[in-house]
Amino acid sequence: MTEYRRKQESITAIQFIYSHKGIKQLKEFCSDKFIAVSNQRHIYAVGEASIKTNELFGGGFNVEIAKDSDYIIKSSWAGCLTIVSEAEFKSNYEAV
């Protein structure tokens, strides 16, 4: 897990890598917001992780899919998770 900065804002993020180690790190990072990892059984398949991203009114959650190499960002002010593509992440954030 590495810290990154965006316009005077520090965040904590992890890149989802579809491997045993990557899945373990993702589970630790997302804790109770982690749902499952899946991968279709064909040559062009991409690993996907289902993650609860933020709490809705009434107690529900949004569930989003992170694909292999996407970044999952943890908000410091609300504990919400956001999923962004690798290209978007690298264009907006730099390592601290």
pLDDT of residue 6: 63
Res. 8 pLDDT band, cuts 50 70 90: low
The residue with greater pLDDT, 64 or 4, is 64
Q: What is the side-by-side strand order in the sheet with 34-38?
A: 34-38, 48-55, 61-67
Q: Are 71 and 14 in contact (CB under 8 A)?
A: yes
Which phi and psi angles does 17 have, rounded to 5°?
-115, 125
pLDDT of residue 95: 82
Residue 30: half-sphere exposure toward Cβ, Cα within 13 Å = 29
Q: Is the pLDDT of residue 78 over 70?
A: no
Which residues on neighbouring strands pair with residue 62, listed in sequence order? 54
- Please state the pTM of the whole predicted model: 0.79
Q: CA 58 → CA 25, 55, 62, 77, 78, distances in Å?
A: 30, 9, 12, 20, 17
- Closest by CA to 52, choosing from 38, 77, 72, 23, is 72
User: Mean pLDDT across the stretch 67-86?
Assistant: 84
pLDDT of residue 4: 79
